[in-house]
Structure 1
């Protein structure tokens, strides 16, 4: 456990390159090429974190000013995913999520019930978060462990189900997103796609980043759009002219730099992905394999970023007007691109549809995060987390995730029976997806 915790503490930008280097050697990639690929991915993550840091550093003061100017006095602070992940891995069960996730992945790959080979080990914190909360609610360690298994199975189902859309829209060949926050968004967005396609008028409108740029010229450019959104947020925060302009340039920088950092990630992943698929074709003809990666690969896409920046002031407004909400959005405002990474793929880059469906998702997240606040606060105290003087904390990310609410409400109320039912549902969905894909492959071969 000490070794696992040490690996976790390295962070994704360090241990992921090491893991990819070893994986590359297993795939018989030359050591030099494998090392360069892993190192490039690590550099990409560092660059991505720097850009998100720019977003967080500049949004933080603007958010605080808006809170002060408009008298927002919500009692629970959203501490964001960095704090939530630290809390999740800092609990008694937290570090167990990594070996549990790896074992479940190996078993499912072995029996052919998933196509995802998950190398995104650090993001097992999403699994740790759910299992630790159920342990906190029930005081049953084994129930918490079983919850981690169930959550992992659903995550691989979401990843496999969304992988073809991820490949088609983002051009990420052989990549899937077994990401606890982003992957459920694919399933959430599907009913909205069905609905939007049947609303007269809306079903004929498609507003993506390219359309906006074509119609608005320079004002539709995503970098300029970022500057405009920064100006609006700065003005809403009643900042000085100098600070408003600084925020505008910073938001423009995020819009320009984020896609470039993602391209670095892809540059490193490409040789690993190609070698993995070549190995699968050679040893398992007719079977496809996805490399499971962080959805950070998608957050730099222009429609994702544009919709997420538009949703920042909308999120704050919803927090104020929704009756019964107690959560003040803060830490996860800069994380919104992860929320909507797969929304944009489902809606084929339509910013309007992403914003509408995203606003509904935020409403649900605020209420779920409010419901989770007492137990997240207790979990933070148990993990010796410094709450910065706040008496109540939550997180819009995993603390507001609708799937976590389902897992934990059922797990707490019905315990073994409830989680057993969810286990069977997850198993049934994985079998259904395997059979569906097999039938589709047969049709393609016959054609």
Structure 2
């Protein structure tokens, strides 16, 4: 039965998010009494919007990735753990024994929390449920208990939905994504870290006055401060650092500029399709539960990555990540596959700082350090997981493998250590819970009104 369930899940997942999301959106729209033709048009528009978003996002990663790898080669870094990137890790996770059960578990948890008014997020991004599945898989491998693995996945789901609720007001104001929350684990887990670090920076003289944002750059430099021009300039600088030839430097600059110009337009297409469904969901729930006007549709972080401040922060952090990998004591991870995805990691930090690129880069440095060390520590377990599901290792990666972005995620590592009854991890539970409660109370006005 387990194998048949896994085959069914794999069949559905093979459609990919650009097909799955419109299907889920269409079913959701019909459930909330949207007219058939309107539901069809809206869901197809969502799919088309995501096709555009992923196409442009692939241009970003396809250009930044080789430049980042060139930096690694130029630096002469030779480390034993190869960063596969998140896509292979997602494939490995979906092939694990626990993964098929995570989709229905997540749906049930989401529906249950909505019913008792403990979340505002309707997470329709089924593809990204793999984030919860990976958390559960790590717990399962650490404890040998299938039940504890499901509990781990469930805990991850609940926490991420709550963080998505917490950050949603800022998502709508500063990223202009009305009715949207972003429950992508690899991003939203850093939102409270961004808020906390932002509060600390507020207390530091001189540094607290520095505010480098796309809006301020554009105001000061005119046409040369427009997101398109900033992308071109940063792309050129990245090409120079990667020691590209002149032609390739210019090509990289134009491509990054194109990403910053086109990606927000793709998001607008997505929003055009999403708004009718979002309005219908809110209307239905307002009738059933009076006063509930703040419901959010949970989507992939890709809809936010086109923000100029996010891309700018990621491009600045890319060479910094290479340097850190080279000099960081205890690091064993060679950052390759996920270097082009730093925008995903840093996006919610940029949101927490309200688009301040300077602060985002500053906060991003310790985050990258933490991810490198966690990716190194988890490499043996991820390698064993890959071998257990008969993953085909790429040439040159016959030893230890990990993922800088998701294999290095500190939240999953902490959850795994808790399941192992690690004393330090257990002691952190009340401490971090207390910090999060204090942070929520002290930043509430900033999140909801700034």
TM-score, with normalisation over the residues of structure 2?
Answer: 0.90
Give the corresponding residue for 2:112: 107
What CA deviation, in whole Å up to 9, does each residue of 1:111-147 have, x standing for no partner?
A: 2221212111111100111111222222221111111
| Residue 154 of structure 1: how far off its partner (Å) | 0.9
| Residue 414 of structure 1: how far off its partner (Å) | 5.3
Give the corresponding residue for 1:397: 405
1-structure distance, mates of 2:167, 2:245: 44
Of residues 223, 235, 251, the one that matches 1:230 is 235
Alignment CA distance shift 1:371-1:352 (3 Å): same
Whether 1:127 and 2:132 are equivalent positions in the alignment is: yes
Choose 159-168 or 303-312, whichever is displaced more. 159-168
Secondary structure of 2:329's match? Answer: coil
Contact 1:369 1:394 in 2 (8 A): yes
Contact 2:234 2:315 in 1 (8 A): yes
Alignment CA distance shift 1:162-1:70 (3 Å): same
Query: Over aligned residue pairs, what C-alpha RMSD do you find?
Result: 2.6
Give the corresponding residue for 2:448: none
1-structure distance, mates of 2:301, 2:57: 14
Contact 2:98 2:136 in 1 (8 A): yes
| Residue 65 of structure 1: how far off its partner (Å) | 2.4
Of residues 273, 282, 288, the one that matches 1:283 is 288
Give the corresponding residue for 1:340: 346
Give the corresponding residue for 2:145: 140
- Write the mapping of 1:139-178 to structure 2, written as runs, cut at 5 A: 139-178=144-183
- Write the mapping of 1:318-333 to structure 2, written as runs, cut at 5 A: 318-333=324-339
- Write the mapping of 1:251-330 to structure 2, written as runs, cut at 5 A: 251-287=256-292, 288-330=294-336
Say how many residue pairs are matched.
433
2-structure distance, mates of 1:326, 1:422: 28
- Write the mapping of 1:41-80 to structure 2, written as runs, cut at 5 A: 41-80=46-85
Secondary structure of 2:82's match? Answer: strand
Contact 1:174 1:277 in 2 (8 A): no
Of residues 22, 36, 39, the one that matches 1:31 is 36
TM-score, with normalisation over the residues of structure 1?
Answer: 0.91
2-structure distance, mates of 1:335, 1:64: 13
Secondary structure of 2:14's match? Answer: helix
| Residue 220 of structure 1: how far off its partner (Å) | 2.0
Secondary structure of 1:181's match? Answer: helix
Contact 2:68 2:318 in 1 (8 A): no
2-structure distance, mates of 1:335, 1:151: 22
What CA deviation, in whole Å up to 9, does each residue of 1:240-297 have, x standing for no partner?
A: 2222221121111221122122222212111111111111212111123222221222
Whether 1:381 and 2:387 are equivalent positions in the alignment is: yes
| Residue 422 of structure 1: how far off its partner (Å) | 6.7
